[in-house]
Structure 1
């Protein structure tokens, strides 16, 4: 059993698992972003949107904490691993978590609006911004 535990913490298996979970964080953040943009920009009413966004955000936060904790454990069990790679992983995982927070912040902005956004007034500033950001999500994954 101890041998199996050590094997889990070694190299490619550990990295593959962390990267897969990181990808899941990005996908969840993208789902949040798209749903909030539909509500904020397209004025599409979505029942249960707030609960959905907060639930996904909580999942992303838990994944972020879990991944960072496991990276620290991995470094302590395998001190010969590339520390700089682990630090980069910790940083990008935190960035993915922040993307979820930003989507949640957009939802909160939407709740504070007294009326729907007039797309005509702001079209010069924000036309296709949501699509450009979605493309960045796709490229990052």
Structure 2
């Protein structure tokens, strides 16, 4: 779908600006995620070098600008490119939600000033964090290059992360991790839940590269016409 969007947007200044804004949002939310993760997991205090709240405001501003440009384009040019406009608006909603979840991670850090350790789940959580960072970068590359093959792979690759997080969450609910204090257990549950949601929104973005509008968020069908 992104290939069709690029063809449309490069011929229209408002839509091209909207597309570029969405691209800016991806980079900004990636930086927000790295900052939020590092301050919670690898810092003894809750001070960040980058003001995530200010970045979140910037993401929200970009989202409004994209919506405005898409609406103006459709009002002036008609509905021939309606599907492309809807895809872009949906995509920036996913990016805005990623910004919200990274801000939530910082809020956890502010109330848990020590490094958050995951107990017996530490290795699994580190693996999840690294996978999301890698997938974040790969999603950016897929979006930039309209690489449908790579996007199809990423949609499948994201699935194990959600399953693993669900398993950890249910284990915490059952009280199977005995070494963590109550505050640490709650912070860990909130954190990995945020990771799961960030992962899901990244999956939606990757799926927009390969899927038509009505199938964004779902795995690609072999027959793309369905």
Q: Same fold (TM over 0.5)?
A: yes
State whether residues 64 and 97 of structure 1, in contact with CA within 8 Å, keep that contact through their aligned partners in structure 2: yes
Q: CA RMSD in A?
A: 2.4
- Residue deviations 1:109-141 (CA, integer Å, cap 9, x gap): 111226432255431430232221111221221
- Residue deviations 1:4-34 (CA, integer Å, cap 9, x gap): xxxxx98343333222111110111011100
Unpaired stretches in structure 1, ≥5 consecutive residues: 1-8
**Offset, 1:68:** 0.5
State whether residues 15 and 70 of structure 2, in contact with CA within 8 Å, keep that contact through their aligned partners in structure 1: no
Aligned to 1:116: 115
Q: 1:77 to 1:10 in 2, by over 3 A?
A: farther
Aligned to 2:127: 128
Aligned to 2:91: 92
Structure with bigger RCO (C-alpha 8 Å, 6+ apart): 1
State whether residues 18 and 65 of structure 2, in contact with CA within 8 Å, keep that contact through their aligned partners in structure 1: no
- Residue deviations 1:67-117 (CA, integer Å, cap 9, x gap): 111111111111043111111111001111111111001111111226432
Aligned to 1:140: 139
Unpaired stretches in structure 2, ≥5 consecutive residues: 1-8, 141-226
* TM-score scaled by length of structure 1: 0.81
2:36 pairs with 1:36 = yes
State whether residues 35 and 50 of structure 2, in contact with CA within 8 Å, keep that contact through their aligned partners in structure 1: no
Aligned to 1:3: none
Q: 1:10 to 1:16 in 2, by over 3 A?
A: closer
Cα distance in 2, alignment partners of residues 10 and 16 from structure 1: 5
Q: 1:117 to 1:46 in 2, by over 3 A?
A: closer
The 10-residue stretch of structure 1 (9-18 or 29-38) with the greater mean CA deviation from structure 2: 9-18
* TM-score scaled by length of structure 2: 0.53
Aligned to 1:4: none
Cα distance in 2, alignment partners of residues 46 and 11 from structure 1: 46
* Superposition map of 1:1-141 within 5 A: 11-43=11-43, 45=45, 47=47, 49=48, 52-113=51-112, 115-141=114-140
Q: 1:44 to 1:26 in 2, by over 3 A?
A: farther
